[in-house]
Amino acid sequence: MGGAVSAGEDNDELIDNLKEAQYIRSDLVEHAFRAIDRADYYLEEFRDSAYKDLAWRHGNIHLSAPCIYSEVMEALDLQPGLSFLNLGSGTGYLSTMVGLILGPFGVNHGVELHEDVMEYAYQKLDFFIKTNDSFDRFEFCEPSFVVGNCLEIVLESRQYDRVYCGAGVQREHEDYMKKLLKIGGILVLPLEEKLTKITRTGYNTWETRKIIAVSFAPLVLPKHRENGKPRAVSLPAMFEVRSLQDLARISIRHILKKSGSGSLPLPRRNGLKRRNHLKLRREHRDTPLLTNSYLFMSRLIPGPMDNNNNQSSTDNEDEDEDCRRVCEQLEENERRNEGSVLVIETPVNLLRERILSLPLPEPLKMYLLYYREK
């Protein structure tokens, strides 16, 4: 499902479009989306489709549309130190973004039905930790995944601050999902074709809010064993005892990030590239909304009625004149720069540079870097 916003040429432009359409509304969520390239979670032969606002499926591997993940992240109201459970954790894309907000002392668990998908998620997680510079800009809560049916969790064993279910839930399973939630916690799930936010306000009291219309594949019902009993899904430990060595690494990295000029800068967009696509985006909004086979109800904002044809024509001429001036200016800049050498500044990973400059043995430096490749 999806198709609510225009496609981007890269991950940043996709996020720009989601912000413009008000699917991404908070800085925390925006930073998490920009930190992780959606295309990294696609198979190589399908990367060209990564920046479209559409769901993607290949075999058991599945990603929801970016507009859906945006609404989910905003509805979860994530904060550092919370516990999170992802039911149907899939590729780990959502869980990894959540981990960037939860920080090193949060809890980040996922339950995935298919073992091959869980293995794929761990491969993508390892790739993110070892190669993505965003890992050093955040304090990360690494997700842990287990294989099993989310309807077979032992309910008495665990409750979480935030829970998300990535499969369609019917009314008969609503109470089951609610029992996974702590008092004050938030549950986000597709409930009877509506993405729904449920807040537990007391032991037996709840607040429910419908967000948008969606269409998800339904939950897969458990297969009972020969004795008639379901298989119990064992969740990862809620609070593992961290080693002193691990805690020291977290503390040292935190201090180095805050030293000097404060926290490390987050990546920012190049404003020129965004202006080059103004006309394209304006034209796109005048075309019919396209979706795939899923049902979607977008939050379109109606434009003003064209009661005066002369006024509409004048507005269009003004827009064309503005675009013509911008194009002429860009062409003039290109002519001036002909023959000059284009110098591209390589982004500097400040945390890495600070760790490498410490008077420590090389193995200890690599430990502080999580053995990450440059």
User: pLDDT band at residue 50, thresholds of 50, 70 and 90?
Assistant: very high
pLDDT digit string (tens) for 207-223?
Answer: 999 999 999 999 999 88
Tell me the sheet residues that pair with 207.
199
What pLDDT does residue 307 have?
43
pTM of the full structure = 0.76
SS (H, E, C) the chain: CECCCCCCCCHHHHHHHHHHCCCCCCHHHHHHHHHCCHHHHCCHHHHHHCCCCECEEECCEEECCHHHHHHHHHHHCCCCCCEEEEECCCCCHHHHHHHHHHCCCCEEEEEECCHHHHHHHHHHHHHHHHHCCHHHHCCCCCCEEEECCHHHECHHHCCEEEEEECCEECHHHHHHHHCCEEEEEEEEEEECCEEEEEEECCCCCEEEEEEEECCCCECCCCCCCCCCCCCCECCCCCCCCCCHHHHHHHHHHHHHHHCCCCCCCCCCCCHHHHHHCHHHHHHHHCCCCCCCCCCCCCCCCCCCCCCCHHHHHHHHHHHHHHHHHHHHHHHHHHHHHCCCCCCCCCCCCHHHHHHHCCCCCHHHHHHHCCCCCC
Residue 247 to residue 353: CA distance in whole angstroms? 21
CA distance 339 to 336: 8
Give the integer Cα–Cα distance in Å for 292 and 55. 8
Flag whether pLDDT at 95 surpasses 70: yes
- Work out the average pLDDT over 71-76: 98
Question: Would you state the pLDDT for residue 227?
Answer: 63
Res 3 pLDDT > 90: no
Query: Is residue 64 flagged as an active site residue?
Result: yes
pLDDT at 306: 39
pLDDT at 274: 46
Question: Are the CB atoms for 9 and 280 separated by under 8 Å?
Answer: no
Q: Which of 5-9, 146-150, 160-164, 209-213 has the lowest mean pLDDT?
A: 5-9
- Predicted local confidence at residue 338, as pLDDT: 56
Taking residues 137-143, report their average pLDDT: 94
pLDDT at 349 over 90: no
Q: Strand 83-87 vs strand 160-165: parallel, antiparallel, or unpaired?
A: parallel
Q: Which of 119-133, 203-217, 342-356 has the lowest mean pLDDT?
A: 342-356
Which pLDDT score, from 0 to 100, does residue 98 have? 98
Rounded to the nearest integer, the mean pLDDT of the chain is: 82
Q: 127 phi and psi, to 5 degrees? A: -65, -40
pLDDT band at 118 (very low <50, low <70, confident <90, very high): very high
**Strand 61-63 vs strand 56-58: parallel, antiparallel, or unpaired?**
antiparallel
- Mean pLDDT across 263-272: 51
* pLDDT of 79 over the 70 cut: yes
> In the chain, what percentage of residues exceed pLDDT 70?
73
pLDDT digits (tens, 9 = 90+) for 19-43: 999 999 999 999 999 999 999 999 9
Q: b/e per residue, 310-344, with b = 16+ CB within 10 A? A: eeeeeeeeeeeeeeeeeeeeeeeeeeeeeeeeeee
Who wins on pLDDT, 239 or 44? 44
Which residue's structure tokens are 């001429």? Answer: 317
Predicted local distance difference test score (pLDDT) of residue 238: 80
What pLDDT sits at residue 339? 53
Higher-pLDDT residue of 249, 120: 120
| Rounded distance between C-alpha atoms, residue 35 and residue 316, angstroms | 37
Residue with tokens 């559409």, as numbered in its chain:
54
By mean pLDDT, which of 47-56, 103-112, 258-267 is the weakest?
A: 258-267
**Structure confidence by residue, pLDDT tens digits, 275-318:** 444 434 434 433 333 333 333 333 333 333 334 444 445 555 66
Q: How many CB atoms lie within 10 A of CB 365?
A: 15
State mean pLDDT over 150-173: 91
Lookup result for tokens 């004795």: 227
User: Exactly one of 6, 64, 83, 95 is catalytic; which is it?
Assistant: 64
Which candidate, 135, 366, 154, 150, places its Cα nearest to that of 264? 135
Span of 114-123, 173-182, 319-328 with lowest mean pLDDT = 319-328
Residue 308 CA: distances (Å) to CA of 224, 283, 314: 67, 20, 10
User: For 237-251, how does the pLDDT look when each residue is reduced to its tens digit (9 = 90+)?
Assistant: 887 788 899 999 999
Give the contacts of 7 (CB within 8 A, at least 6 positions apart): 14, 17, 51, 52, 53
Residue 298 is predicted with a pLDDT of 36
